[in-house]
Amino acid sequence: MEPKSILIADDERHILNVLSIKLRNAGFSVIAAEDGAEAYSLAQSARPEVIIADYQMPLLSGVEVCSKLWADPQTRHIPVVLLTARGFSLSEGDRALGNIKRVIDKPFSPREVLACIHGLLAEVAVRGH
């Protein structure tokens, strides 16, 4: 069975490295992006099972990436975990951001992110997509 792929998008190299190591050690295939435009492009081409995106990134913010992915029927089903140091929270009116399933505040525990990924994948398995 092929490992599930996770796209991590963050402009902070140490966060990319820590999360990549944690997720690879847990058996996932990891795709990394250092800015929002690269994240969007990789999400369209690779279609990962889950995306972890930083709120604040160059070129496109995590929220802008999510909005673009949500607008595309081919990528709108991909669940997103948004990492934020800014205290972002979803409101009921954020329909264009329906793919953001969790928001995790920085600093975070890599173990917390891994648990979140497992939870999202379990939800996707139950829903069937």
List the CATH number of the domain containing 11: 3.40.50.2300
Tokens of 12: 């902070």
Count: domains in the chain: 1
Residue-level pLDDT at 96: 55
What residue numbers bound the domain in which 73 lies?
Answer: 5-127
Run means of pLDDT, 10 residues per run, the chain, 129 residues: 91 95 96 96 96 93 91 92 78 64 90 93 77
pTM confidence score: 0.90
Residue 97 DSSP code: G
Q: Cβ neighbours of residue 16 under 8 Å, at least 6 residues apart?
A: 8, 10, 32, 34
